[in-house]
Amino acid sequence: MKYFDLNNGIKMPMAGIGTYLLSPEDAENAVYEALKCGYTLIDTANAYMNERAVGRGIKKSGVKREDIFLVTKIWPTEYENGDRAIDETLARLGTDYVDLLFLHQPVGNYTEGYKAMERAYKAGKVKALGLSNFPKDRFDNVLANCEIVPQVVQVETHPYYPQTELKETLKKYGMGLMAWYPLGHGDKSLIKQDVFTRLAEKYSKTNAQIILRWHTQVGNIVIPGSKNPEHIKSNLDILDFELSDDELKEIAALDKGKRYYNMAIEDEEKAFMNWNIDFNGQP
């Protein structure tokens, strides 16, 4: 496994499994399959409504908790009661700490939410702190008011939108970039680009594996999701080859500044703060 050295000295695996859009049953099985075939990084969130299932998958796998890098996210409606929300998410996962905790969205009282995460960090309930989907102004606001600088930022990142400018900023603070939509939301026009097809043939890999390997070589942490055991295994089988500098430059030329998620922050505020979810009611 390749690791990213976070700015607090923790090593984070650079390839893992995501559980977004997985039902509780599928999430439990996917986590179990992933851990059995060598994954150590697991990503979930309050809003995925599968934290309990992720905890069951971990327990069923028999893998020691200390050998797993467990990631989750608290939802904006929980920010003002962050201490309680963090304790509840730990209870749902069946653990007394998580390795990385994100603020999931940059809306609501995110400043208070971040303070709660800092308190959990100091108490040992959280080993690293992160911001998910934060635009530059709100990212800068957290940095200006925080006591503990975040370790990881999670944003949409793929060859059509490689986040080059953001990564220069993160480098200054020693923060890692965790990529969601790492395969461009499954866009075939991206995945079937000639460069990926050619490199897949050269290295005896799939196009998706080439893209995931590109991510890890340029320093991104990736968490592709799947409930298919063969795909889960395939998504981790990306570390036995290396793309050349010229091949990386070819892929860099695909940058179109194209995002697949484009909701305005004002619309996010209206949508996300109106979610009335009983996170403890998840199966």
Let me know how long the chain is. 283
Tokens of 75: 């939802």
CA distance 137 to 13: 29
Q: Say what angle helices 82-93 and 110-122 make with each other, to 10 degrees.
A: 60
Decide if 48 is catalytic.
yes
Beta bridge partners of 12: 4
Other C-beta atoms closer than 10 Å to the C-beta of 70 total: 25
Radius of gyration of the chain (CA): 18
119: burial class by Cβ within 10 Å (0-12, 13-18, 19+)?
Answer: middle
What residue type is assigned to position 127 of the chain? Answer: K
- Asked whether the beta carbons of 54 and 19 are under 8 A apart, the reply is yes
CA distance 278 to 267: 22
Distance of CA 273 to the CA centre of its chain: 22
Long-range contacts from 230-234, C-beta under 8 angstroms, 24+ separation: 232/17, 232/30, 232/33, 232/34, 232/37, 232/39, 233/33, 233/37, 234/206, 234/208, 234/209
- Asked whether the beta carbons of 96 and 119 are under 8 A apart, the reply is no
CA distance 164 to 242: 21
Q: What are phi and psi of 128, to 5 degrees?
A: -155, 155
Q: Which of 48, 121, 161, 181 is flagged as catalytic?
A: 48
Known catalytic residues are 48
